[in-house]
């Protein structure tokens, strides 16, 4: 069991330099095909051209996006050539409002989408849009990589954030190829509900399921000693020297997380290790 079709969407030179090496590294470990989609994004808002505006202005923005995409594709092909991977590239021009549909269509036929962390000082709006489109429109699993890349110990010690939700269970199932290969999988339960069906054995049924796949797993039940569950998770990752976090994405709505915050957004904003997400 492994990932055989991997895709990454890149819309800037900075994102390409930060993400493509990790995507190449992961694809080589999995003996997978890597597809790179190089995006030229027209950021003009819908309705941004007033009545009577020159069509030359619209043509100029589209031509600029096309040039950006082709330049990125040439750079990606140069990086991929000679790696020994099975790979393919394509350039695409899209308006920002059409990005979810375009990404979703391609992501739905991928085993995994690999993207750079979508939040940070120099992050572009397209990065967040691509991650969310892959998860929701594409129904794909997404590996989000920090600026530092995968790291030499990637996948050896994995933390699974378990809260009994459908999203968390889907993430575990999608991450099985990596969980099977890990030296140790630590299932973390933070403040399990008193009246939960698993109250007498938090994480027990999940551990049993994973054990049948040959996964070496243990359970850690943690108290919420920090303001947010995401803070507890990241502290535990640091304390255990884990190299990957597996978690369900957006148990609350994206709008609520954008306004009030939530575990998914908080982790993506602050995690220093790769994060594997599925909705």
- Let me know if residue 229 belongs to a domain: yes
The model carries a pTM of 0.91
Helix (H) or strand (E) holding 99: helix 99-107
Within this chain, do residues 79 and 176 fall inside the same structural domain, yes or no? Answer: no
Instruction: Please tell me the distance from the alpha carbon of residue 200 to that of residue 49, in angstroms, as a whole number.
Output: 61
pLDDT band at residue 121 using 50, 70 and 90 as cut-offs: confident
Instruction: Please tell me the distance from the alpha carbon of residue 137 to that of residue 132, in angstroms, as a whole number.
Output: 8
Within this chain, do residues 46 and 101 fall inside the same structural domain, yes or no? Answer: yes
Whether the predicted pLDDT of 221 surpasses 50: yes
Within this chain, do residues 193 and 130 fall inside the same structural domain, yes or no? Answer: no
pLDDT in tens, 5-26: 999 999 999 999 999 999 999 9
- Let me know if residue 66 belongs to a domain: yes
Within this chain, do residues 134 and 11 fall inside the same structural domain, yes or no? Answer: yes
- Let me know if residue 102 belongs to a domain: yes
pLDDT band at residue 45 using 50, 70 and 90 as cut-offs: low
Instruction: Answer with the one of 94, 119, 145 that is the final residue of a domain.
Output: 145
Within this chain, do residues 195 and 76 fall inside the same structural domain, yes or no? Answer: no
Within this chain, do residues 61 and 91 fall inside the same structural domain, yes or no? Answer: yes
Within this chain, do residues 251 and 129 fall inside the same structural domain, yes or no? Answer: no
Find the range with the poorest average confidence among 32-41, 99-108, 188-197. Answer: 188-197
Containing structural domain, residue 164:
157-278
Q: What is the pLDDT of residue 254?
A: 55
- Let me know if residue 150 belongs to a domain: no
Domain total of the chain: 2
pLDDT in tens, 239-252: 999 999 999 998 75
Within this chain, do residues 131 and 11 fall inside the same structural domain, yes or no? Answer: yes
- The CATH number covering residue 77 comes to 3.40.50.620
Within this chain, do residues 210 and 87 fall inside the same structural domain, yes or no? Answer: no
Within this chain, do residues 119 and 217 fall inside the same structural domain, yes or no? Answer: no
Within this chain, do residues 224 and 137 fall inside the same structural domain, yes or no? Answer: no
Phi-psi bin for 139: left (phi > 0), alpha (psi -120 to 50), beta?
left
- Let me know if residue 253 belongs to a domain: yes
Q: What is the pLDDT of residue 226?
A: 93
Beta bridge mates, 42: 95
pLDDT band at residue 50 using 50, 70 and 90 as cut-offs: low
Whether the predicted pLDDT of 58 surpasses 70: no
Instruction: Answer with the one of 120, 145, 170 that is the final residue of a domain.
Output: 145
- Let me know if residue 13 belongs to a domain: yes
What DSSP letter does each residue of 126-182 carry, written as one string?
Answer: HHHHHHHHHHTTS---EEEE-TT-S-TTTTTEEEEE--S-HHHHHHHHHTHHHHHH-
Q: What is the pLDDT of residue 55?
A: 61
Coil vs helix vs strand at 91: strand
The tokens for 127 are 């990065």
State the average pLDDT over residues 65-71. 95
pLDDT in tens, 80-116: 999 999 999 999 999 999 999 999 999 999 999 999 9
DSSP-derived secondary structure letter, 122: T
Choice between 60 and 110, residue whose per-residue pLDDT is larger: 110
Instruction: Please tell me the distance from the alpha carbon of residue 96 to that of residue 129, in angstroms, as a whole number.
Output: 9
- Let me know if residue 151 belongs to a domain: no
Q: What is the pLDDT of residue 56?
A: 58
Within this chain, do residues 130 and 261 fall inside the same structural domain, yes or no? Answer: no
Whether the predicted pLDDT of 60 surpasses 60: yes
Choice between 49 and 35, residue whose per-residue pLDDT is larger: 35
Mean pLDDT of the chain: 90
């Amino acid at each position: 069991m492994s990932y055989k079709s991997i895709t990454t969407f890149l819309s800037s030179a900075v994102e390409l330099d930060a993400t493509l090496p990790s995507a190449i590294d992961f694809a080589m470990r999995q003996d997978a095909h890597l597809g790179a989609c190089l995006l030229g994004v027209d950021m003009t808002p819908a309705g941004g051209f007033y009545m009577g505006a020159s069509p030359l202005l619209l043509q100029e923005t589209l031509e600029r996006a096309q040039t950006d995409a082709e330049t990125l594709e040439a750079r990606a092909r140069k990086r991929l050539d000679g790696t020994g991977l099975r790979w393919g590239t394509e350039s695409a021009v899209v308006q920002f409002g059409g990005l979810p549909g375009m990404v979703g269509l391609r992501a739905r036929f991928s085993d995994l989408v690999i993207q750079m962390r979508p939040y940070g000082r120099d992050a572009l709006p397209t990065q967040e849009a691509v991650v969310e489109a892959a998860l929701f429109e594409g129904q794909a699993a997404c590996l989000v990589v920090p600026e530092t890349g995968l790291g030499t110990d990637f996948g050896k010690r994995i933390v699974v954030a378990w809260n009994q939700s459908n999203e968390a269970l889907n993430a575990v199932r999608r991450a099985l190829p990596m969980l099977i290969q890990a030296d140790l999988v630590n299932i973390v339960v933070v403040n399990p509900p008193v009246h939960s069906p698993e109250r007498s054995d938090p994480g027990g049924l999940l551990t049993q399921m994973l054990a049948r796949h040959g996964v070496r797993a243990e359970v850690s039940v943690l108290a919420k000693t920090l303001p947010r569950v995401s803070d507890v998770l990241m502290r535990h990752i640091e304390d255990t020297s884990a190299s990957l976090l597996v978690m369900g994405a957006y148990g609350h709505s994206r709008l609520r997380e954008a306004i009030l915050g939530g575990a998914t957004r908080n982790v993506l904003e602050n995690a220093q290790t790769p994060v594997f997400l599925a909705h």
